[in-house]
Structure 1
Amino acid sequence: MSARPSEEHADIVLCPDGPMLLRGAAVVQDEDGVRHRTTRPVTAVCRCGHSAIKPWCDGTHKLLRD
């Protein structure tokens, strides 16, 4: 997906052993190609693959730690 220069972009923060945080408006495409628009000022996106509410993080990664 290409962005136009005039469009706003979300800031992205990768949390160590945790989710990807999106600050600002964004659209996330899941593994099935379904597009999800963020609705919060900061949104956590699952990176561990085990969330029950993918593509959003539900904190399951905390249970997977050693």
Structure 2
Amino acid sequence: MPNDRSERRRVTLQRPGPLLVEGPVEVTLEDGTTVSSDRFCVALCTCRRSGIYPWCDTSHRRRAAPEDPRRTQPPPD
């Protein structure tokens, strides 16, 4: 991906949560492999819990969100 300063990308930080990047994007991983997405916005995992890393699959929600009592109670009859 060329480094063209005339085309800036918007990056949005969310805590806790993914890094949102306006697409399309190309990501180079630690091992040197490159993955890309043509979507208009992509969510990059920052917690490393994602099953589809480097893309976010919302795995961070299971640990970051406070426990919701509605989840542990059966639905009303």
Q: Percent identity?
A: 35
Q: Structure 2: which 5+ runs fail to align?
A: 67-77
Q: TM-score, normalised by structure 2?
A: 0.70
Scaled by the length of structure 1, the TM-score of the pair is: 0.80
- For structure 1, the residue ranges without an aligned partner over 5 or more in a row are none
State the AA in 1 paired with 2:32: G
* 2:19 matched residue in structure 1: 20
Q: Which amino acid aligns with 1:21?
A: L
Following the alignment from structure 2 to structure 1, what is the Cα–Cα distance between the partners of residues 39 and 5?
23
SS in 1 for 2:38: coil
Report what 1:43 is aligned to.
42
Per the TM alignment, residue 2 of structure 1 is displaced from its structure 2 partner at its CA by 6.8
Query: Structure 1 residue 56: deviation in Å?
Result: 0.2
Q: Deviation of residue 35 (structure 1)?
A: 1.0
Specify the code of the residue in structure 2 equivalent to 1:61.
H
Aligned equivalents of 1:62, 1:20: Cα separation in 2: 14
Q: Deviations over 1:12-39 (max 9, x none)?
A: 1111100000113221112222111222
- Superposition misfits of 4+ residues, deviation over 2 angstroms: none
Give the aligned CA root-mean-square deviation in angstroms. 2.0
- What count of residue pairs does the alignment treat as equivalent? 65
Higher relative contact order (CA 8 A, sep 6+): 1
